[in-house]
């Protein structure tokens, strides 16, 4: 896979990783009732410490693929491996960040963030210490005793992110996590996500409908074709992400990549 003149590495399929991948998706096919083929022949590897966005037209199977990796949905054919083990259901090495926050309305921020650890039987003092660390990490220090109804949409989404981080899963599965917040909050989330990826060194799978968002946050973008979803292209934006966060949006490679992807997807827009 070579770099183009614009600094974007691109290729038709999965690129072999130097180290064993954390996640291996092997020839996954998903057929729903009535014979509707959602995914067909998806083969991808996901390396440790990288953020991969799944991007494509509505109905191309982005969320379906995320659910299959998360073990929430069994594929009709093919398999998913995490650290070489076949996925047969949800597991502690994978955590979801949902679009709709999915918080317990009767529980404080602290309890919501610690809930996954509580289910695992982690002692109270230990799980609260972990929860407070990640509450601070996502910028909510001082809100530990608040309830979800006392928070803005952006703050509730931060609670959901802190909860996913608190269980120390290797893989974070993010299904359009920023789509329900305003544009200013969404941009701040994108900046925070880049920082968290560097600090946490986890493997992120990120579903989005936004080309700009995908290019901004991603090490790699997997473009899926319209249903049935197939891997049509893989793009790796070669953009420096240190320094001023806003500089990314002004970088020529960012602008060129956004335009390149839009030209590839516009044929699928009604």
Query: What is the average pLDDT value for the chain, to the nearest integer?
Result: 87
Residue 19's Cβ-count burial label (10 Å; 0-12, 13-18, 19+) is exposed
Are both 175 and 59 inside the same structural domain? yes
How far is the C-alpha of 205 from the C-alpha of 224, rounded, in Å?
A: 14
Last residue of one domain, picked from the residues 140, 168, 196: 168
How far is the C-alpha of 127 from the C-alpha of 191, rounded, in Å?
A: 27
Are both 126 and 35 inside the same structural domain? no
Are both 120 and 153 inside the same structural domain? yes
pTM, entire model? 0.85
Are both 74 and 42 inside the same structural domain? yes
> For 156-192, what is each residue's pLDDT tens digit?
888 988 998 898 889 999 998 887 777 888 888 888 8
Contact 133, 211 (CB under 8 A): no
Q: In 10 A of CB 38, how many CB atoms? A: 22
> For 83-100, what is each residue's pLDDT tens digit?
999 999 999 899 988 777
Are both 143 and 265 inside the same structural domain? no
Residue 75's CATH number: 3.40.50.300
Answer yes or no: is pLDDT of 213 > 60: yes
Are both 79 and 111 inside the same structural domain? no
Last residue of one domain, picked from the residues 168, 195, 217: 168
Report how far apart, in Å, the C-alpha atoms of 11 and of each of 107, 166, 223, 225, 245 are: 46, 35, 11, 14, 27
> For 68-77, what is each residue's pLDDT tens digit?
999 999 999 9
Domain residues for 74? 20-93+171-270
Report how far apart, in Å, the C-alpha atoms of 116 and of each of 4, 8, 78 are: 44, 39, 30
Contact 142, 195 (CB under 8 A): no
Pairing mode, if any, of strands 36-46 and 23-32? antiparallel
> For 114-165, what is each residue's pLDDT tens digit?
998 998 889 999 999 999 999 998 889 999 999 999 998 888 888 988 998 8
How far is the C-alpha of 73 from the C-alpha of 90, rounded, in Å?
A: 9
The tally of domains found in the chain comes to 2
How far is the C-alpha of 202 from the C-alpha of 168, rounded, in Å?
A: 9
Residue 85 lies in a domain: yes
Cβ-proximal residues to 47 (8 Å cutoff; 6+ apart), any chain: 17, 18, 19, 21, 22, 203
Contact 190, 178 (CB under 8 A): yes
Last residue of one domain, picked from the residues 116, 151, 168: 168
Residue 116 lies in a domain: yes
* Residue 26 structure tokens: 């092997």
Average pLDDT (15-34) is 82
Are both 24 and 135 inside the same structural domain? no
Residue 213 lies in a domain: yes
Are both 29 and 77 inside the same structural domain? yes
Answer yes or no: is pLDDT of 16 > 60: no
């Amino acid at each position: 896979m070579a770099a183009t003149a614009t600094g974007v590495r691109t290729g038709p399929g999965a690129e072999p990783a130097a180290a064993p991948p954390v996640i291996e998706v092997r020839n996954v096919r998903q057929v729903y009732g009535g014979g509707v083929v959602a995914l067909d022949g998806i083969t991808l590897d996901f390396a440790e410490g990288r953020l991969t966005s799944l991007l494509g037209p509505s109905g191309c199977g982005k969320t379906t693929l995320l659910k299959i990796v998360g073990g929430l949905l069994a594929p009709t054919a093919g398999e998913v491996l995490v650290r070489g083990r076949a996925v047969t259901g949800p597991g502690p090495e994978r955590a979801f960040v949902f679009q709709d926050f999915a918080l317990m309305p009767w529980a404080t921020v602290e309890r919501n963030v610690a809930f996954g650890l509580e289910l695992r039987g982690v002692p109270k003092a230990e799980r609260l210490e972990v929860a407070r660390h990640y509450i601070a990490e996502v910028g909510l220090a001082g809100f530990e005793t608040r309830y979800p109804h006392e928070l803005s949409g952006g703050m509730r989404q931060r609670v959901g992110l802190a909860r996913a981080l608190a269980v120390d899963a290797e893989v974070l599965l993010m299904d359009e996590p920023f789509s329900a917040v305003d544009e200013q909050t969404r941009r701040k989330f994108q900046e925070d996500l880049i920082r968290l990826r560097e600090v946490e060194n986890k493997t992120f799978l990120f579903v989005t409908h936004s080309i700009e968002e995908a290019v901004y946050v991603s090490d790699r973008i997997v473009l899926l074709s319209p249903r049935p979803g197939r891997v049509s292209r893989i793009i790796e934006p070669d953009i420096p992400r240190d320094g001023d966060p806003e500089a990314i949006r002004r970088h020529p490679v960012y602008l060129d990549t956004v335009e390149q992807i839009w030209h590839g997807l516009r044929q699928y827009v009604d």
